[in-house]
Amino acid sequence: SKDVTSSIVLIDKENGGHGSTINAGLKVAKGKYFRVLDADDRLSSEALGRHLEFLATTNSDIVFTNTIHDLSIPSKLVDDKKYEFMIPHKEYEFDSLCEENYGFPGYGVVLSTSSVKTEKLKKSGCELPEKCFYDDIVMNYYMTKASDTAVLDPVSLYYYYLGRSGQSLSKASY
């Protein structure tokens, strides 16, 4: 088993926002898969262990997981399973998942649900806008562009914190 500290890289840079941080991380990333965790969100330790085991056994370009919406008001956790139309652990050709003249059913590729192959993401030309909200929509595009195959690992991995005052997803920010 590899020492996890050899996988950690400290990047000391000027604050350029969410997109800038992802751009900097992708430049130094060397792992098989790339995944983003926002500063105000968290991952389930148990689900992360299971997800890492699955990532070691798959070769899909993008691996989807489930999320939990961690609501501030009211204080509760809500399951968010965007990919229930997929059979767990079955690899799909990405295009076969898309609906004619539309694309993916429902939300499609979403940053909080996706682990994407690092090399394919780099080759896609991924570069996010800096110092702005909703750069994750651009990241969703690049993850889609980088993916020829997809699979669902049905772990509830990502806890997406919602409802905090001043958050980009608040009514005031919209």
What average pLDDT does the segment 100-124 reach?
Answer: 88
Q: What is the DSSP letter of 113?
A: G
Task: Return the closest-CA partner of residue 148 out of 126, 105, 117, 114.
Answer: 117
2-13: per-residue pLDDT in tens?
Answer: 566 667 788 898
What's the N-to-C CA distance of the chain in angstroms? 45
Q: What's the predicted TM-score (pTM) here?
A: 0.88
134: left (phi over 0), alpha (psi -120 to 50) or beta: left
- What's the confidence (pLDDT) of residue 164? 60
Q: What is the pLDDT of residue 2?
A: 58
Type of residue found at 25 = G
d(CA 75, CA 73): 5
